[in-house]
């Protein structure tokens, strides 16, 4: 009786390595991350509201629990942050 060699299983055959998310943060961890990394203050309640009506950073869910990818949070800040201006008049024109 000959044995048939089996292929070594990959770490996770369902999700390829290039699609796996970076570090995930719970909603309560996001305000601290944004303030420490970007100096931006955002309340947990603001994130919850944005998750409901839109306009916030992208969310991933594990069951009913929302998670935020650090990279997505960084992109969200850069997309919302204006370019430097010298006056409020310049801001209004932009």
Of the two residues 67 and 12, the one the predictor is more confident about is: 67
Q: pLDDT by residue (tens digit) across 3-57?
A: 555 555 555 566 666 666 579 999 999 999 999 999 999 999 999 999 999 999 9
Each as own residue / partner, the long-range contacts of residues 85-89 (CB below 8 Å, 24 or more positions apart, any chain) are: none
* pTM for this entry: 0.72
Which distant-in-sequence residues (6+ apart) come within 8 Å of 75 by Cβ? 57
Mean pLDDT (whole number) for 79-92 = 88
> Quick one: pLDDT band at residue 92, thresholds 50, 70, 90?
confident
> What pLDDT is attached to residue 22?
77
* Pairing assessment for the beta strands 60-62 and 65-69 based on DSSP bridges: antiparallel
């Amino acid at each position: 009786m000959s044995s048939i060699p089996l292929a070594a299983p990959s770490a996770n055959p369902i999700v390829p390595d290039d699609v796996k998310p970076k570090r995930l943060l719970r909603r309560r961890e996001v305000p601290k991350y944004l303030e420490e990394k970007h100096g931006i203050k955002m309340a947990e309640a603001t994130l919850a509201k944005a998750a409901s009506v839109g306009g916030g950073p992208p969310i991933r869910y594990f069951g009913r629990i929302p998670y935020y990818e650090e990279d997505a949070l960084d992109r969200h800040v850069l997309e919302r942050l204006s370019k430097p201006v010298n006056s409020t008049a310049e801001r209004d024109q932009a």
